């Protein structure tokens, strides 16, 4: 999508602090971190939100979920972490491209907000 921030990052039109990339996903450090470790995992395929994912996306979603623990370990997170998927207006989704926030290296609280 031409006006999608994350599509521009996927296409390397906008610089980002990439920590991992393969043919399906890109992972990069958040520009406004909420924890000592805070990165995003973004599918290269444009999917507007989790609500828009379909059966054909199950391999992609599975790949993301299995890659997150590897990336967390590479980032030095040892005692747990949080994965957040903001979906829709009430979920505070600000970029309309499915993305996974991974936060670690600090104690998380509940409820989150």
**Catalytic (active-site) positions:** 99
Whether 43 contacts 24, CB under 8 Å:
yes
Half-sphere exposure (CA, 13 Å, Cβ side) for 112?
Answer: 11
Bridge partners for 39 per DSSP: 29, 102
Distance CA(47)–CA(79), nearest Å, equals: 31
Count helices and strands in the chain by DSSP H and E runs: 2, 5
Contact (CB, 8 A) for 74 and 83: no
């Amino acid at each position: 999508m031409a006006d999608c921030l994350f599509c521009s990052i996927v296409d390397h039109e906008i610089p980002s602090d990439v920590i991992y990339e393969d043919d399906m996903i890109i992972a990069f450090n958040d520009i406004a971190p909420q924890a000592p470790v805070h990165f995003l995992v973004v599918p290269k395929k444009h999917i507007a939100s989790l609500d828009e994912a379909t059966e054909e996306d199950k391999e992609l979603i599975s790949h993301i979920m299995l890659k997150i623990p590897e990336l967390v370990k590479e980032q030095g997170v040892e005692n747990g972490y949080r994965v957040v998927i903001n979906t829709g207006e009430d979920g505070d989704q600000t970029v309309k491209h499915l993305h996974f926030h991974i936060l670690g290296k600090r104690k998380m609280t509940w409820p989150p907000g």
